[in-house]
Amino acid sequence: MQENWLELQAAFNKNACYVLATITDTQGPTYRKPGTMMLIAADGKCTGLLSGGCLEVDIALHAQDVLLLNKTKRLTYDLKADAELLWGLGLGCDGVITLLLQPLTPTNDHLDFIHLLSAISMRKPGYYQQNITDNKIPFARFVEQEAPCLAVDNNKINIPIIPPISIAICGAGPDAEPLVNLSQQLGWKIHLWDHRKQYLAQSCFNVCHHKLKIRAEQATSDNFKDLDAIVIMSHNLVNDSQFLAKSLAENVNYIGLLGPISRRDKILNEHKIKSDDVEGQVYGPVGLQLGGRSPQAIALSIVAEVQQHFTNTSRIQ
């Protein structure tokens, strides 16, 4: 799955020329897998990674030829071959990566990539179909539909396009800062909710995509629209109880509840809900048991659990 859609959106300019590099096939252990994309600007700047950082400079050099000739180009890197030592790469991944490079220009309507990015903004899934023949006039299109599994044949690759995880954090206290920062680094879309305007206004939360001054009792269905996950950490029992009830009513896929088991059960009991009834949806205490009690360690455990939850569901192929 592509994780850096928001980064790609920020880097993309509809008036500029790019090369889109896509992994179409791998054999053996490799850093990234088929369907992973990297955007290369005309000046060689890369957005995204297709390797651990070892291949990107060489790929960017090939991208210049792609823009000059306006034709597709396929590259294969055999990382298990002795020749890699001659290149000075020393990758040690012991795998083979095949890439497709395609020019995205205003002349060819950026191969429908603008449509793709627009769908991401509107949280519409789909697939991106690219012709993968070498040295041909480039062709690609984006189709809006429920994202299928990745599929490759001799002539094309269909890549599932799934919007980034959209997460709401209820509570803008000091312990929210590391959670916001880690969520941002993972490329998630972050909503921050709190009833205290001055807390929301802190500069450490400027990376949030949406900040909302709201009390738990004011939350409506519209506030939960398009949310994949919610972490309830207002440190107020009444607020947390109301946020939990509304999250369940709106069937949010992942609901994290900060605090010990006894606190979780007290809140669930208020709504006559048994923990077994919401297993796999409500996580309390929130976070994987990684060890550590600092806000940073707790934030790490939360994002790890959210990542694991969605990796183990059909949302991520």
Which whole number is the average pLDDT over 182-190?
97
Does residue 290 carry a pLDDT above 80? yes
Q: Which of 67-81, 96-110, 171-185 has the lowest mean pLDDT?
A: 67-81
Exposure of 156 by Cβ count < 10 A (0-12 exposed, 13-18 middle, 19+ buried)?
A: middle
Does residue 83 carry a pLDDT above 80? no
Read off the pLDDT band of 260 (50, 70, 90): very high
Which whole number is the average pLDDT over 116-143?
95
Compute the distance between CA of residue 193 and CA of residue 175 in angstroms, rounded to an integer.
Answer: 14
Does residue 27 carry a pLDDT above 80? yes
Compute the distance between CA of residue 138 and CA of residue 20 in angstroms, rounded to an integer.
Answer: 11
Other residues' Cβ atoms within 10 Å of the Cβ of residue 33: 12
> What single letter denotes the amino acid at residue 92?
G
Q: What is the DSSP code string of the chain? A: ----HHHHHHH--TTS-EEEEEEEEEESS-SS-TT-EEEEETTS-EES-SSSSSSHHHHHHHHHHHHHHT--EEEEEETTSTHHHHHT-------EEEEEEEEE-TTTGGGGHHHHHHHHHTT--EEEEEE--TTS---EEEEESS----EE-SSEEEEEE-PPPEEEEE--STTHHHHHHHHHHTT-EEEEEES-HHHHT-GGGTT-SEEEE--GGG--HHHHTT--EEEE--S-HHHHHHHHHHHHHTT-SEEEE-S-HHHHHHHHHHTT--GGGGTTTEESS-S------SHHHHHHHHHHHHHHHHHTSTT--
Compute the distance between CA of residue 188 and CA of residue 6 in angstroms, rounded to an integer.
Answer: 8
Which of 120, 96, 115 lies closest to 129 in space, CA to CA?
Answer: 115
Compute the distance between CA of residue 266 and CA of residue 273 in angstroms, rounded to an integer.
Answer: 10
Which of 88, 29, 81, 34 lies closest to 58 in space, CA to CA?
Answer: 88
| Domains (range + CATH), the chain | 5-161 (no CATH), 166-311 (3.40.50.720)
Average model confidence (pLDDT) across the chain:
92
29 vs 199, residue with greater confidence: 199
pLDDT for the residue 48: 95
Which of 37, 29, 307, 309 lies closest to 150 in space, CA to CA?
Answer: 37
Compute the distance between CA of residue 103 and CA of residue 68 in angstroms, rounded to an integer.
Answer: 9
Compute the distance between CA of residue 253 and CA of residue 231 in angstroms, rounded to an integer.
Answer: 11
Exposure of 303 by Cβ count < 10 A (0-12 exposed, 13-18 middle, 19+ buried)?
A: buried
pLDDT for the residue 84: 47
Read off the pLDDT band of 85 (50, 70, 90): very low
Compute the distance between CA of residue 144 and CA of residue 142 in angstroms, rounded to an integer.
Answer: 7
